[in-house]
C-alpha cells in the first residue's frame, strides 16, 4: 500500500508543479499556453541527458533554465501581436517537441527513449526505502516552488501581472513595461515546467515520448480552473483532487472487467475535457479567490466594509 501511496504523492507533485507553472502564466498573467506538455518533455529530456555528466542537481537547473529561455523566445515572438497567437504558437511547439523526440534518435533515443537516469540522493538511503525518500524530495520541491511562486504572486510583481491581465493599456499608462512583464511571467512558468519534467524523469528513471501526451496539458488546465485562476493554494487542492479522482478510475478498471487500458485512458482524458467545460460554465471563479492585499494588512484598525 505504501508503494502505491508514494507513487500517488509523486504523481500529484509533478502535476502540482505543472499546475503552479500554468497558474503563473495563465491564472495570473492571462497568457494561454497550450504547449505545456512540450516544456515538461523538454525538461525531462534535458535532465536525462545532462544528469550523467553533470549530476542530477545541475542537470535539473539547466533544464529549468533552457525551458525558461525557450519560453522567453516564444512569448516575445507572439505576444507582440495578440494573445490568441501565443496559444497557437505553443500548441505548435508542443507538437514539434514530440516529433523531434521521436525522430532525433541520435540525441533522444527516438521511440526507445533514454534509460537509467541518475536519481537524487541515491546512496543516502537503502534502495528499498528510496521511493519514500523520493516522495519526500518531491514534496520538498513542490513546497519550495510554491513558496517562491506565492511570494511572487503576492508581491508587486504579481500585482503588475494581474493589472496587465485585466487591461494591458491601462498598465502601460501607469508606466508598467507590459511586454517585459508578460515575458518574465511566461519564462518563470517555463522554468517550473522544466523542473516538473526533471522530477518526472527522476521518478521513472527511463523516459520515452509516449509518456508526454496531451493529458499533461489537460491536467494543468483542469487544475488551474478548478483551483481558481490566480490562487496557488486553490491550485494545490485542484491538482490533488483531480489526481485522486483519476487514480480512483484505476479501481474502476478492476470493477468493470470490460474496460481495457486504452479505454481507461480515454475515459480519464474525456472526463478531464468535460470537467474543463463544465467548470468554465458553472464555476468560472474556481475553488479559492485570488490573493488580494487587504487594508488591514497595513492598518489593523481599518474597519472597511469588505
Partner 1 sequence: MTALLEVRDVSKRFGGLAALDHCSLSLKRGQVTGLIGPNGAGKTTLLNVISGLVKPDNGTVHFDARDVTGQPMHRVATLGLVRTFQIVRELGGLTVLENLLLAPFHQRGEVISGALFARATVREQEARHAAKARDVLKRIGLWKLADHSASALSGGQKKLLELARVLLLEPTLVLLDEPAAGVAPPLLKDIIELIRELKADGISFGIVEHDMHLIGAICDHVHVLAEGTNLISGSFDEVTADARVIDAYLGLGV
Partner 2 sequence: MIAQLVLNGFVTGLLLALPALALTLTFGILKFPNFAIGAMLTFGAYAAWVANSLLGMPLAVAAVASAVVMALVAMLCDVLVYSRLRDRGSITLLVSSLGISLVLENICRFAFGNATRNFAFEVARPIRWHGLRINQEQLITAIVVIACVILIQLLLHASPLGRAMRAVADNPALAAVRGVERQTIARITWCIAGCLTALSGVLAGLDRAVDPLLGWNYQIPIFAAAILGGLGSPTGAIVGAIVIGLAEELSSLVLPTNYRQIVSFAVILLLLLVRNRGLFGGKAVRK
Among positions 7, 69, 92, 146, the unique one binding partner 2 when judged by CB under 8 A: 92
Distance (Å, whole) CA 207 – CA 276? 28
Integer Cα distance of 90 and 39 in angstroms = 10
Residue appearing with cell numbers 510554491: 146
Stretch that binds partner 2, among 1-9, 75-83, 137-145, 247-255 (CB under 8 A): 75-83
255 binds, among partner 1, partner 2, none (CB under 5 to 8 A by kind): none
Residue 205 C-beta: closest distance to partner 2, Å = 26
- Of 39, 45, 56, 93, which lies in the binding site for partner 2, with binding defined by CB under 8 A? 93
Which one, 102 or 133, has the nearer CB to partner 2?
Answer: 102
Give me the least distance between CB of 286 and partner 2, in Å please: 13
Interface positions with partner 1 (CB under 8 A):
148, 151-152, 155-160, 162-163, 165-167, 169-178, 181, 184, 188, 230, 290, 292-295, 297-299, 302, 304-306
233 binds partner 2 (CB under 8 A): no
Minimum gap (Å) between residue 110 Cβ and partner 2:
11
Selected from 6, 15, 71, 214, the binder of partner 2 by CB under 8 A is 214
Question: Is there a contact between 252 and 260 (Cβ–Cβ < 8 Å)?
Answer: no
Binding residues with partner 2: total (CB under 8 A): 45
- Name residues whose C-beta falls within 8 Å of residue 65's C-beta, 6 or more positions apart in sequence: 191, 194
The residues facing 207 across adjacent strands are 114
State which H helix or E strand residue 301 sits in.
Answer: none
And the C-alpha cell for 14?
509533478
Give 143's contacts (C-beta < 8 A, 6+ positions apart): none
Beta bridge partners of 258: none
Amino acid at each position: 500500500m505504501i508503494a502505491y501511496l508514494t507513487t500517488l504523492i509523486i504523481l500529484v507533485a509533478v502535476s502540482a508543479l505543472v499546475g503552479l507553472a500554468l497558474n503563473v502564466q495563465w491564472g495570473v498573467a492571462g497568457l494561454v499556453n497550450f504547449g505545456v506538455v512540450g516544456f515538461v518533455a523538454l525538461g525531462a529530456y534535458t535532465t536525462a541527458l545532462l544528469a550523467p555528466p553533470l549530476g542530477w542537481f545541475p542537470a535539473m537547473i539547466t533544464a529549468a533554465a533552457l525551458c525558461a529561455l525557450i519560453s522567453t523566445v516564444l512569448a516575445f515572438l507572439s505576444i507582440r501581436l495578440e494573445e490568441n497567437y501565443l496559444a497557437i504558437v505553443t500548441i505548435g511547439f508542443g507538437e514539434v517537441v514530440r516529433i523531434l523526440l521521436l525522430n532525433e534518435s541520435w540525441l533522444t533515443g527516438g521511440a526507445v527513449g533514454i534509460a537509467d537516469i541518475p536519481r537524487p540522493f541515491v546512496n543516502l538511503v537503502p534502495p528499498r526505502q528510496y521511493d519514500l525518500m523520493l516522495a519526500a524530495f518531491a514534496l520538498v520541491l513542490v513546497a519550495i516552488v510554491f513558496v517562491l511562486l506565492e511570494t511572487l504572486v503576492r508581491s508587486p510583481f504579481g500585482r503588475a501581472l494581474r493589472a496587465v491581465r485585466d487591461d494591458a493599456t491601462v498598465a502601460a499608462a501607469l508606466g508598467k513595461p507590459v511586454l517585459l512583464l508578460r515575458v518574465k511571467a511566461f519564462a518563470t512558468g517555463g522554468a517550473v515546467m522544466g523542473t516538473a519534467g526533471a522530477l518526472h524523469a527522476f521518478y521513472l528513471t527511463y523516459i520515452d515520448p509516449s509518456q508526454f501526451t496531451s493529458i499533461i496539458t489537460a491536467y494543468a488546465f483542469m487544475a488551474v480552473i478548478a483551483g481558481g485562476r490566480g490562487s496557488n493554494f486553490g491550485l494545490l487542492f485542484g491538482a490533488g483532487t483531480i489526481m485522486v479522482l483519476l487514480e480512483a478510475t484505476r479501481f474502476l478498471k478492476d470493477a468493470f472487467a470490460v474496460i481495457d487500458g486504452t479505454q481507461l485512458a480515454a475515459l480519464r482524458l474525456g472526463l478531464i475535457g468535460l470537467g474543463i467545460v463544465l467548470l468554465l460554465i458553472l464555476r468560472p471563479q474556481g475553488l479559492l479567490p485570488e490573493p488580494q492585499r487587504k487594508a488591514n494588512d497595513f492598518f489593523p484598525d481599518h474597519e472597511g466594509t469588505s
